[in-house]
Amino acid sequence: MTASIKDVARAAGVSPATVSRALGKGPVSEALRAQVMEAVRVTGYRPNLAARRLRSQESGTIGLILADIGNPFFTGVARAVEAAAYEAGLRVLLCNTDEDPEREASYLALMQEERVTGLILAPTRATADRLAEAPPAMPVVLIDRPGPAGLFDSVLLDNAAASAALVDHLVAQGYRRIAGLFGQTSGTGVERAEGYRATMARHGLAPSWRFVPPQAEAAEAGFAALSREGQPEAVLASNSLLLMGTLQAVRAKGLRIPADLALAGFDNEPWTGLVEPGVTVIEQPLAEIGRQAMALLFERLRAPDAPVRKVMLSGRAILRGSTAPRRVLASML
Amino acid sequence: MTASIKDVARAAGVSPATVSRALGKGPVSEALRAQVMEAVRVTGYRPNLAARRLRSQESGTIGLILADIGNPFFTGVARAVEAAAYEAGLRVLLCNTDEDPEREASYLALMQEERVTGLILAPTRATADRLAEAPPAMPVVLIDRPGPAGLFDSVLLDNAAASAALVDHLVAQGYRRIAGLFGQTSGTGVERAEGYRATMARHGLAPSWRFVPPQAEAAEAGFAALSREGQPEAVLASNSLLLMGTLQAVRAKGLRIPADLALAGFDNEPWTGLVEPGVTVIEQPLAEIGRQAMALLFERLRAPDAPVRKVMLSGRAILRGSTAPRRVLASML
DNA sequence: ATGGCGACTGGGAACGATTTCATTCAACCC
DNA sequence: GGGTTGAATGAAATCGTTCCCAGTCGCCAT
């Protein structure tokens, strides 16, 4: 229906090859170039990307598969990735799996069919495993979540250290019965849980934890379950959704923070600073994660056989009122 | 590099046409179909979408251009759109403009070049105007923001009514000096401002308002400016970012809500219920907006010449503590 | 037996761009 | 002036599919 390069060629009185060169970078005389531009204007020509990709055998697109487009962590990363891609003249094909391994698999297939140049991926644990058996045909960079060891470039947070920092902080503030809620679909949840467990052990404290689906409602239920095992003095939540769910549960039960329960978690979302008291969190360097992922991808495209790299970034603890020093007397009244 | 349909054909001992039919819906004997499937497995064949699209002249993709991927309003809509598209066997090409008309134009061009089947768009005011002059080649459905009257199908909130409801509520609660902060990039901001202005006039109250860029920092500055014109008793913010910025400013100044300042706005984001007191908001039917947009798009594809339709949805007021009745005595102490 | 029909299959022409290769033509050097 | 160079242009092949068209084959009715 719409004009093709032949229509433009006819309108300009030149061959299709010349039109292609005039629009691309080939050598074309100024006169003809002007004629072509005019013909493009007249015909309303827009290049057909499908045809271009088919012929040139490159998509000019990188794929980005995220677990949850509603999670500000991922949207932050997506922004950075898109900015870097835009700068490099690449498009981003963004897909959202909602933590569903089936959709993840379907999007992985899609990425192959689109012949994307590279792929940035935050895999669920299920997919991380499968990735080793059937590696995609294009370069892959994993973000946020670990994959099969040593197979893919990756950008990760030092989750164990971050968890340890939170536990250390809580202990220093006088809390002992520290419970943990961790996301069960991601390797990240596992790492954070492990950091929590190890640090609790180091302090000689007994851990009390649960893996739950990464949804606020699940966190509410998880918190209720933890409470039944013995009321904790503090709760550590491994992502912002779980943190929010916990806070909702706390509000519903009418508990005071931090007098009845201290709270700490991950991701410095705006609301964590708006509630009162503010919630202590580990802030992740979202933009840096996105930038590094793109950088790794470009490196890999340039040198396909270079050794696999793993970029480990550190979170920054933002201490707020939710983890104020424990006042034993007040809580005993 | 990767296997093509010819490779599969060779491996299966049939013609490419037969492979195509075996994978599609054409009539193929069971025996050959099995052979083909086996050959697909062996060769690791994945269809090339660029080639398929070129030949079949349809992209199987709908475009979705949003102003701000970080805004939960848009991610909510995007989810619903994607779900509906998935059900219809279509892909979604999601693009984020960050309210930048230039990027909007560039993505509009991209959508043409991708030959998307249809387009769902939340235009800035600048783009809404340009849309009339150079209408895209494919069906367009506008969401959230009005465009050139009568040209495109659209799904909109009854913004004037929503603003009116908030103002009426504030007045009923005893507030008089009600200020407004509205987003300047969207037609939605204009409509909400107009609803605010009209309703204030109906109550015989003097409006005090500002249009600001849709960012939290801009809202802080805008609030400061409004305060200089005379301390308001209540503030109405036309979207969640402005609402958040206003709340940040309020916290920074140490004002109490609602004693020193009542607060109301748009979008029922989780944090509006988590802060204390909770913030009164208009909840928008995100999923319904997405569903309706897809429904309009499908209708349009089926009947390209049907009259233009405009679906007007209503918001739901969620009343919380931030607009509790004004206690004159308390505030005078 | 013949014709017709239906189901299946292969050949080959598209789809719209890019790119190789050959051709033209003007300018230039000795 | 003839041969050489180089830039500009066009013809045609090509990318991987789909799909129209024609052909084959078995089967059934006449």
Residue-wise pLDDT for B73-118, tens only, equals 999 999 999 999 999 999 999 999 999 999 999 999 999 999 999 9
In this structure, the answer to whether residues B89 and B165 fall within a common structural domain is: no
Q: Note whether A50 contacts B115, CB cutoff 8 Å.
A: yes
Residue A332 lies in a domain: no
Does one domain contain both A153 and A295? yes
| Together in a domain, B167 and B234 | yes
**B116 & B207 share domain:** no
B150 vs B137: CA distance, rounded Å: 17
Q: Are the C-beta atoms of A126 and A184 separated by less than 8 Å?
A: no
Q: How confident is the model at residue A70 (pLDDT cuts 50, 70, 90)?
A: confident
Does residue A41 lie in a domain region? yes
Contact assignment for A75 to B69 by CB distance below 8 Å: yes
Mean pLDDT value across residues A29-47: 93
User: Phi/psi at A129 (nearest 5 deg)?
Assistant: -70, -50
Beta strands, E only, chain B: 61-66, 91-96, 118-121, 140-143, 153-157, 178-183, 208-212, 234-237, 262-266, 280-283, 310-313, 316-318
How many angstroms separate the CA of A29 from the C1' of D9?
10
Please identify among residues 303-332 of chain B the ones whose CB lies closer than 8 Å to any CB of chain A: none
**Does pLDDT of A307 surpass 70?**
yes
Question: Given a cut of 60, is residue B69 above it in pLDDT?
Answer: yes
Q: Are residues A122 and A28 in the same domain?
A: no
Mean pLDDT over the full length of chain B: 94
- Closest residue of chain A to B247, computed from CA coordinates: A274
- Percent of chain A residues topping a pLDDT of 90: 91
Both B222 and B238 in one domain: the answer is: yes
Put simply, whether B59 touches A (Cβ < 8 Å) is: yes
Average pLDDT over residues B237-262: 95
Q: Which residue is nearest to nucleotide C16 (CA to C1')?
A: A51
Rounded Cα gap, residues B118 and A77, in angstroms: 28
Q: Which residues are CB-neighbours of B211 under 8 A, at least 6 positions away?
A: B182, B183, B184, B189, B193
Within 8 A by CB and 6+ apart from B266, the residues are B162, B192, B237, B238, B239, B240, B243, B281, B282, B284, B315
**In 10 A of CB B256, how many CB atoms?**
11
Mean pLDDT, chain A, integer: 94
pLDDT digits (tens, 9 = 90+) for A81-103: 999 999 999 999 999 999 999 99
Are A251 and B274 a contacting pair at CB < 8 A? yes
Interatomic CA distance for residues A133 and A150, integer angstroms: 14
Tell if the CB–CB gap between B75 and A76 is shorter than 8 Å.
Answer: no
Query: Distances in Å between the alpha carbon of B205 and those of A248, B210, B229?
Result: 38, 16, 15
Better pLDDT: A333 or A68: A68
Domains: count for chain B: 3
Asked if A46 and A88 sit in the same domain, the reply is: no
Between vectors from CA A149 to CA A304 and to CA A119, what angle results, nearest 5°? 45
CA dihedral A156, A161, A163, A167 (to 10 degrees): -170
Which pLDDT value is given to residue A331? 46
Residues A165 and A153 both lie in one domain: no
Contact of B180 with chain A, judged by CB distance below 8 Å, is answered with no
How far apart (Å, rounded) are the C-alpha atoms in residues B246 and B329?
25
Put simply, the answer to whether A244 touches B78 (Cβ < 8 Å) is no
Chain C nucleotides with an atom closer than 7 Å to a protein C-beta: 7-12, 14-20
- CA B50, CA A7: separation in Å to the nearest integer? 21
Q: Straight-line distance from CA A32 to C1' D4, in Å? A: 27
The Cβ of residue B291 has, within 10 Å, a number of other Cβ atoms equal to: 17
The CATH number of the domain where A46 resides is what? 1.10.260.40
Residue A310 has pLDDT above 70, yes or no: yes
Instruction: Give the confidence band of B25 by pLDDT, cuts at 50, 70, 90.
Output: confident
Which residue among A38, A54, A70 closes a domain? A54
Q: How would you class A69 by CB atoms within 10 Å of its CB: exposed for 0-12, middle for 13-18, buried for 19 or more?
A: buried
With respect to residue A266, please indicate whether it lies within any of the assigned structural domains.
Answer: yes
Listed range (A67-81, A250-264, A291-305, A317-331) with the worst mean pLDDT: A317-331
Q: Please check whether residue B115 lies inside any domain of the structure.
A: yes
Listed by range, residues with Cβ under 7 angstroms from strand D are A 13-18, 21, 26-29, 31-32, 51, 54-55, 57; B 4-6, 16-17, 20-21, 23-24, 45-48, 51-52, 54-56
CA–CA separation, A276 and A320 (whole Å): 9
CA of B24 to C1' of C5 (A): 25
| CA distances to B9, B57, B215 from A51, in Å | 23, 10, 40
What are the strands, taking DSSP E only, across chain A?
61-66, 91-96, 118-121, 140-143, 153-157, 178-183, 208-212, 234-237, 262-266, 280-283, 310-313, 316-318
Indicate the pairing of strand B140-143 with strand B280-283.
unpaired
User: Residue B244's domain is classified under what CATH number?
Assistant: 3.40.50.2300
Answer whether B79 touches A (CB < 8 Å): yes
- How many Å apart are CA B276 and CA B271, to the nearest integer? 10
Is residue B329, in this structure, part of any structural domain at all? no
Q: Helix or strand or coil: residue B226?
A: helix
Identify the CA nearest to B117 among candidates B145, B136, B144, B143: B136
Residue A333 covered by a domain:
no
Residues A186 and A278 grouped into a single domain: yes
In total, chain B counts a number of residues equal to: 333
Going by pLDDT thresholds of 50, 70 and 90, the confidence category of residue B328 is low
Task: Work out the average pLDDT over A288-302.
Answer: 96
Beta-bridge partner residues of B95: B65
Chain D nucleotides near the protein (CB, 7 A): 7-12, 14-20
Residue A26, pLDDT score: 80
In a domain, B333, yes or no: no
Packing angle, helices B101-113 and B125-133, rounded to 10: 40
- Same-domain check for residues A292 and A148: yes
Query: Beta partners for B120?
Result: B64, B141
Select the more confidently predicted residue: A330 or B312: B312
Q: How far is CA A210 from CA A126, A135, A220, A226, B202, in A?
A: 19, 32, 12, 8, 55
Residue listed under structure tokens 């949805």: B313
CB neighbourhood size of B220 (10 A): 22
Residues A39 and A66 in one domain: no
- The domain in which residue A290 lies consists of 61-157+286-315
In a domain, B146, yes or no: yes
Question: How far does Cα B18 stand from its chain's mean position?
Answer: 44
**A209-247 per-position pLDDT tens digit:** 999 999 999 999 999 999 998 899 999 999 999 999 999
CB B154 within 8 A of CB B311: yes
Between positions 257 and 276 of B, the ones with CB within 8 A of A are: 269-271, 273-276
**Claim to verify: residue A39 and residue A68 sit in the same structural domain:** no
